[in-house]
Structure 1
Amino acid sequence: MNKATELIKPPVKKNQWKFAVVFLVLIFLYYIALTTTDLTFRGSSLSPAAIFKRLFWDPFFLADVRAKIPEYAYYMFETLLIAYAGTLIAAVLAIPFGFLAARNMSKISGLGKWILNGIRAFPEIMLAIIFVAAVGMGPYAGVLAVGIHSIGMLGKLYAEVIESIDMKVLEALRSNGANRLQVMWYGVIPQVIPQFSNYAIYRFEVDVRSSTILGVVGAGGIGAPLIIASMQRNWEQVGMMLIIIIVVVTIIDLISGTIRKRIV
Structure 2
Amino acid sequence: MKATYSNQEMSAEVAQMLAKEDKRVTTGKVIFLVATIAVLIFSYRQSELNFPLLLQRGGNMVEYTRSYFPPDFSYWQTYLEDTIITISMGIWGTLLAAIAAVPLSVLASENVCPVWIVQPTRRLLDAMRAINEIVFALVFVVAVGLGPFAGVMALFVHTAGALGKLFSEAVEAIEPGQVEGVRATGASKIQEIIFGIIPQVIPLWTSFTLYRFESNVRAASVLGIVGAGGIGVSLYQSFQSFDYGKVCAILIILILATSIIDTISAKLRNSLV
Q: Could you state the TM-score of these two structures normalised by the residue count of structure 2?
A: 0.81
Answer yes or no: is the 8 Å Cα contact 1:55–1:238 preserved in 2. yes
Cα separation, partners in 2 of 1:77 and 1:175, compared to 1, 3 Å = same
1:232 CA displacement: 1.7
- After TM superposition, list the pairs within 5 Å mapping 1:170-249 onto structure 2: 170-249=179-258
> Match of 1:81, as an amino acid?
S
Equivalent position to 2:141, from 132, 135, 141: 132
- Map of 1:71 onto structure 2: 78
- Map of 1:81 onto structure 2: 88
**Superimposed CA distance per residue, residues 208-235 of structure 1 (whole angstroms, 9 cap, x where no aligned partner):** 1111110011111111211221222211
- Measured in 2, the distance between the counterparts of 1:173 and 1:206 equals 36
SS in 1 for 2:68: helix
Percent identity between the two aligned chains: 35
- Measured in 2, the distance between the counterparts of 1:246 and 1:32 equals 33
Equivalent position to 1:104, from 101, 111, 116: 111
Cα separation, partners in 2 of 1:33 and 1:67, compared to 1, 3 Å = closer
- Map of 2:8 onto structure 1: none
Cα separation, partners in 2 of 1:190 and 1:68, compared to 1, 3 Å = same
- Map of 2:158 onto structure 1: 149
Answer yes or no: is the 8 Å Cα contact 1:54–1:239 preserved in 2. no
1:153 CA displacement: 0.2
- Measured in 2, the distance between the counterparts of 1:53 and 1:185 equals 56
Equivalent position to 1:55, from 57, 60, 68: 68
CA radius of gyration, larger in = 2
> Match of 1:55, as an amino acid?
Y
Q: Give unpaired runs (5+ residues) of structure 1.
A: 60-64
SS in 1 for 2:113: coil
1:27 CA displacement: 4.7
1:184 CA displacement: 2.4
SS in 2 for 1:66: coil
- Map of 2:263 onto structure 1: 254
Cα separation, partners in 2 of 1:32 and 1:197, compared to 1, 3 Å = closer
> Match of 2:68, as an amino acid?
L
Cα separation, partners in 2 of 1:80 and 1:111, compared to 1, 3 Å = same
> Match of 2:151, as an amino acid?
G
Pick the structure with more helix per residue: 2
1:3 CA displacement: 3.9
Cα separation, partners in 2 of 1:215 and 1:180, compared to 1, 3 Å = same
> Match of 2:148, as an amino acid?
P
Aligned alpha-carbon RMSD (Å):
2.8
1:168 CA displacement: 1.1
> Match of 1:119, as an amino acid?
M
